[in-house]
Amino acid sequence: MPITPKDASARARDIANAAPIVPVLVVEDVAHAKPLAEALVAGDLPALEVTLRTPAALDVIRAMAEVPGGMVGAGTLLTPADVKAAKEAGATFGVSPGATDILLDACEAEGLPLLPGAASASEAMALLERGYDMLKFFPAEAAGGAKFIGSLASPLPQISFCPTGGVNPQNAADYLSLANVVCAGGSWVAPSKLVKDGAWDQIEALAKEASLLPR
């Protein structure tokens, strides 16, 4: 069922509010998908972004979508074909590094809430004009970091952000302390070595630590 930009952004905001950190996941082996999602959800990080960077990504989304309590999204959506495939695989939201009219049209037609990316005031204003007020800020550190995002709060108080790209345990608190940041995306809660080793208890512990970050 199609979704309006306003409703899409409201749903994205609900997802962003679920926890201070959204794990950004690159999963090579579908066998790791379900236990990884279970560990992250048990660690109180229910919103999961699976990046479409591996051949297994869509199957990973399918497997993670079966985990109770999880909200699985597809990252790096670039084309209408990406949107359709992600929705069919069971993604409940999408994430993109930027935004184009074609991509926004596709997400709205498919009824897939999108966290569209912006890295400037003009990009953020264009998305707000369309009806989106919950945005991804990418690449966060390279584009100006917490200082830049914080400077947008006064002229654009309607807009909230989920910064991603260079966010880590050392600087996450700088972002989360900002009034216009709802959550942040990060990959450190599921490092590839721990995933490959099946160290689910360690991943759950990292997730729990991240879930307790103040915001």
- What's this model's pTM, rounded to 2 decimal places? 0.97
Mean pLDDT to the nearest integer, 8-15: 98
Range list of H helices, the chain: 5-16, 33-42, 57-64, 80-89, 101-110, 121-130, 145-151, 172-176, 192-197, 200-211
Residue 191's domain comprises 5-208
Q: What is the pLDDT of residues 95-111, one digit of tens each?
A: 999 999 999 999 999 99
Residue 37 within any structural domain of the chain: yes
Quick check: is 136 catalytic?
yes
Catalytic residue among 38, 87, 110, 136: 136
Residue 90 within any structural domain of the chain: yes
Residue 214 within any structural domain of the chain: no
CATH number of domain containing 175 = 3.20.20.70
Residue 27 within any structural domain of the chain: yes
Residue 112 within any structural domain of the chain: yes
Catalytic residue among 49, 108, 110, 204: 49
Q: How many independent structural domains does the chain possess?
A: 1
Q: What is the pLDDT of residues 57-80, one digit of tens each?
A: 999 999 999 999 999 999 999 999
pLDDT band at 121 (very low <50, low <70, confident <90, very high): very high
The CA dihedral of 128, 132, 133, 137, to the nearest 10 degrees, is: -90
Quick check: is 28 catalytic?
no
Q: What is the pLDDT of residues 41-52, one digit of tens each?
A: 999 999 999 999
Q: pLDDT at position 154, please?
A: 97
Q: What is the pLDDT of residues 131-142, one digit of tens each?
A: 999 999 999 999
